[in-house]
Each structure stands twice: as C-alpha cells, then as structure tokens.
Amino acid sequence: MGSFRCCGSTNFLSWTTSSYSSNQTETNLLNDSGVNTLTFTVPKSCCIEPGSQDCQDHRHMKSDVTANKYIYTKLSSQNLIFLLGVTKIISEMASIFCCFRGCASFLDLGFATPTVPIKKQPTITLDQQHIGQEVVLVKEGSRICGTGGALGNTAIMQDKAYFEVRLQQSGIWGIGLGSEKADLNTVPMGNDTDSWVMCSDGYLRHNKEEMHHITQLPQEGDTIGVSYNHIELNFYLNGQKLDCPFTNVRGQVYPAVYVDDGAVLDVVFDNFVHDPPPGFDKIMLEQSLLET
C-alpha cells in the first residue's frame, strides 16, 4: 500500500498493486475519506517509471507483489470519474445479462446447458406384467413375496442357461420354468401344462403330476440353482446337482417362481453364489443374443 498525488491534481489517492500478467496491473484506488473504492486494470505500459518528468511527486513505495518494481500510475480526477462511470455501466450490464440468462434457462430458450440422458442398460428381473394378483415384487424385481407366481421378463433363448434362487424365508414356494400361459394365481404351480416346478414339499410337478421327489429339502438361506438346455431342466441345492430332471419341457419358457404362506424368494440372474455347470451361463436378453 502506498500514496501519491496524481499529476495536475490536488487530490491524494491511496493505491495498491498486484500483477496478474506481464501486461496488466490491478490497482485499487480510494479518495481522501476512504470511500468509493475502485478496482480497475490498466496496462503496464501506462505505468510511469520512477524519476520521469511525468510524475511531479516522487513519493512512491515498493509493491510487494510486482517483483520489487516501483509502479506509478498517472491519473487525474477526470480519469477517475470516467473509470467510475464505465465500471458502473459494465456492472449493470453484467447484472442484466445474468438475469436474462437465468430467465432464459428457466423458460428453456436454448441457453441452458444441454444434458445427455444416460441410457440404462436393460436387466433381467421378475416381470411386473406377469405376476399373480396377490404377488408383491420388491428390490427392483428380484424378490417375490405375497401369494402367487411370477415369470422373468425374458424368455430363455440361448442353448444353455442358468439362474439361482435364494430361500430368504420358508413357507410354501416353487421354482422352475413356465410359459406365458402359466397360471400365476394358483398355488402350487405345476398343475397345468405350462409350468414345470420344484416345490417346497420336495415334489417336482407338471400338469398335475408329481414327476420326482427329493428327500433333502432346502432350508432358509439355501441357494437353489436352475439349469436348462432345451432338453433337460435340472436343479441344484447349494451347488450340488439333485439328479431329478424334467425332460418334457416344450415351447418358449421363462424363469418361474411362486410363494405362499410367508415364503420369500430372491431370484438371482447374475453374480451367482455358485458357479454354473460347465457350458452354462446366465440368461441373456434377446437383444444381447442378436448383438453377439
């Protein structure tokens, strides 16, 4: 901070300087009473070297920002008034522009920054459009509770597909495959020609027939795997094959589950607990099959 008297004027001004580039210096000026502070930028070419004839008063101080150089600025009262006026005009114009830009953005006049929506990749879940009337799907379609059945949102089109079901809470439940015509309001499933399921009582049912029976019943926390290769429908308990396949599955089928009596099932179509059997993989969307 220093003080000097502008050439041709009786007004004393206080000043500070700081260098922002090789060509400009920012200067703060205030009058004798310490009010009406003005910050402006002038080219360094306007600065007067110490000892020149243009400066009538050699009272100057060293700037602590401009690399130990003495800087003087030749300004008259008229210059200061002019700069104050210009600064006020620029400030008002900036305020008007900012206000207009905000209003234009609100009114969607093209000033808002365009956003590109992120396309969400489709995932395989239980289908809200194919559930029983008293079924509730939660966890983004991966958990089923209530009463009735549900189908997956994509048919099994690939040669060898695998998915898993985790028994979260015991009750009456079933796991397997079904067509779009399967009865999703009747428990247990497997009582029509359009569903093939392993039931919580250990029976494998299809078209009102009990095809097989397993003695080792799944418990809460167990994981049941399901594999299908268009020839056999097999089941796995915690990674171990149960050797009780369906061999009469026909037509276009979907993953199918049902619950009742407080049962809760989590259906897993990816990131399996157990490795799929050799050659089998997660169910792929039909679009994925077309792209591969």
Q: Are residues 203 and 233 located together in one domain of the fold? A: yes
Residues 146 and 234 in one domain: yes
- Any domain includes 50: yes
Please state the domain count of the chain: 2
**CA torsion angle 48 49 52 58 (round to 10):** 90
Please report, for residues 19, 231, 264, the alpha-carbon distance to residue 240 in angstroms, rounded to integers and kept in the order given: 76, 20, 22
Determine if the peptide bond prior to 188 is cis (ω within 30°): yes
- Residues 184 and 251 placed together within one structural domain of the fold: yes
Could you report the per-residue pLDDT of 212-266, keeping only the tens digit for each?
999 999 999 999 999 999 999 999 999 999 999 999 999 999 999 999 999 999 9
Q: How far is CA 155 from the centre of its chain?
A: 28
Task: State whether the Cα torsion 214-137-284-151 is positive or negative.
Answer: positive
- Cα–Cα nearest to 252, from 164, 177, 184: 177
Same structural domain, 272 and 163? yes
Confidence category of residue 118, pLDDT binned at 50, 70, 90? low
Q: Which residue has the tokens 């994509």?
A: 154
pLDDT at residue 104, rounded to an integer: 45
Q: Which pLDDT tens digit goes with each residue over 24-70? A: 444 444 444 444 444 444 444 444 445 555 444 444 444 443 434 44
Whether 168 contacts 266, CB under 8 Å: yes
Q: Does 281 score more than 70 pLDDT?
A: yes
Q: Measured between alpha carbons, how far is 32 from 263 in angstroms, rounded to an integer?
A: 85
User: 155 is in which domain, residue-wise?
Assistant: 126-286
Q: Which of 76, 106, 136 is the last residue of a domain?
A: 106
Element (H, E) at 26: strand 24-30
**CATH number, domain at 144?**
2.60.120.920
| Residues 78-91, mean pLDDT to the nearest whole number | 63
Pair 99, 198 in one domain? no
Q: Minimal CA–CA distance to 264: which of 106, 121, 146?
A: 146
The answer on 144 and 268 residing in a single domain is yes
What Rg do the C-alpha atoms of the chain give, in angstroms? 40
Are residue 71 and residue 211 in the same domain, yes or no? no
- Of the listed ranges 71-80, 136-145, 164-173, 191-200, the one predicted with least confidence: 71-80
Indicate the pTM of the whole model: 0.60
Instruction: Based on the fold, state whether residues 99 and 143 are members of the same structural domain.
Output: no
CA proximity to 213, closest of 225, 204, 205, 222: 204
If asked whether residues 237 and 139 sit together in one domain, one would say yes
Please report the pLDDT score of residue 121 as a whole number: 75
Residues 29 and 99 in one domain: yes
